Amino acid sequence: MAKKGRVFSGARPTGRQHLGNYLGAIKNYVALQQEFECVYSIVDVHALTTVETTKDLTSNTFDMALDWLAAGIRPEESIVFVQSHVPQVMELHTYLSMVTPLGKLTDLPTFKEKVRESPENVNYGLVGYPVLMTADIVLYRTDVVPVGVDQAPHLEFARETVRSFNYRYGAAVLKEPQMKNTEIPKVLGIDGQQKMGKSLNNHIELAATPEETRLRVMQMVTDPQRMRRTDPGNPEVCNVFSMHKIFTPAEDVAMINQECRRAGIGCVDCKKRFAENLNQNLAPFREKRAEIGANPATVWDVLHDGAKRARAIAEETMVSVREAIQLPK
């Protein structure tokens, strides 16, 4: 089937992926492969803006790539690679930075948030993060970028930067990417309050063993108003119930919904069922992960092959960029 164009997306190497990453990103990455030619980058250079130590950069990259492949990203079709393996992105970033007003960067909500979070670490790279992101996108002549609401200003920035560049150098040399609005669910952690994330240690790893998964699920916070087993519960405010809706067959979801409301099923039972269903859902992923992971070199081969294909596209773009700027040959 002819594909509708090229998609690009990047994610920082965060190691073993959790349910939040899966439902919020990977699942969509896998689905997009049907319709688009996909380019997925593990953006290790971006990670340098915030990481404290780089000692885990390689293992985190490997673990994330392994999870992506096990989840169904198909390297025969899609380009999967490590950002720093295509150094042209750094070059394009520099050229783009010359057409970027500084005030535009410091006005972005994500930048302001980072400054609030860690005022002691406002480095130059952090300010320029959206410029590097733009370079990533346009280097591969991307047609479409899937973005959730919080990333929308970054994509708008990328589009404006492309227009400024093309205007400045008088040529339609860079392709303006389109935004594909993607509804990204906010997956809550086992605390039932905050967004699932590694740093909060409220996550459930896709690659955990069934027993580890069960223990994690049993710690999940349910309806906070439900104190005793005999109290009726409210599934609408229960994080376990929202997970059931994703991983449990519809007729069981309906039963749980009904039984919880009349205290026919307790939270412990409800969580046991969820753990079982989750483990069942994740079994094929875990099997495939073990299979691929048994030979780590295959993961690196995929990433190196992806980088080779990515570099070919990137170099082509850069030839026209350098020409448009009129850099001496």
Residues found near ligand ADP in the complex (CB under 6 A): 11-12, 14, 20-21, 23-25, 184-187, 195-197
Minimum distance between the CB of residue 44 and ligand ADP, rounded to whole angstroms? 11
CA distances from 20 to 34, 185, 306 (A): 22, 8, 25
If we measure between CA atoms, which residue out of 163, 181, 182, 183 comes closest to residue 173? 163
**CA 70 centroid distance within chain:** 15
Smaller CB separation from ligand ADP, 19 or 174: 19
Minimum distance between the CB of residue 50 and ligand ADP, rounded to whole angstroms? 9
Smaller CB separation from ligand ADP, 20 or 128: 20
CA distances from 254 to 237, 264, 281 (A): 16, 13, 19
Minimum distance between the CB of residue 220 and ligand ADP, rounded to whole angstroms? 14
Minimum distance between the CB of residue 187 and ligand ADP, rounded to whole angstroms? 3
Cβ-closest residue to ligand ADP?
24
Taking the C-alpha atoms of residue 46 and residue 135, their distance in angstroms, rounded to an integer, is: 12
Smaller CB separation from ligand ADP, 22 or 165: 22
Smaller CB separation from ligand ADP, 12 or 141: 12
Both tokens of 289, joined, read 């992960």
Taking the C-alpha atoms of residue 99 and residue 275, their distance in angstroms, rounded to an integer, is: 52
Smaller CB separation from ligand ADP, 206 or 265: 206
CA distances from 113 to 109, 126, 142 (A): 6, 11, 28
Residue count (the chain): 329
**Which residue is it, tokens 């390689």?**
58
Minimum distance between the CB of residue 183 and ligand ADP, rounded to whole angstroms? 11
Smaller CB separation from ligand ADP, 40 or 140: 40
Cβ atoms of 67 and 48 closer than 8 Å: no
Minimum distance between the CB of residue 97 and ligand ADP, rounded to whole angstroms? 21
Minimum distance between the CB of residue 30 and ligand ADP, rounded to whole angstroms? 13
Smaller CB separation from ligand ADP, 99 or 105: 105
CA distances from 296 to 15, 59, 307 (A): 15, 11, 17
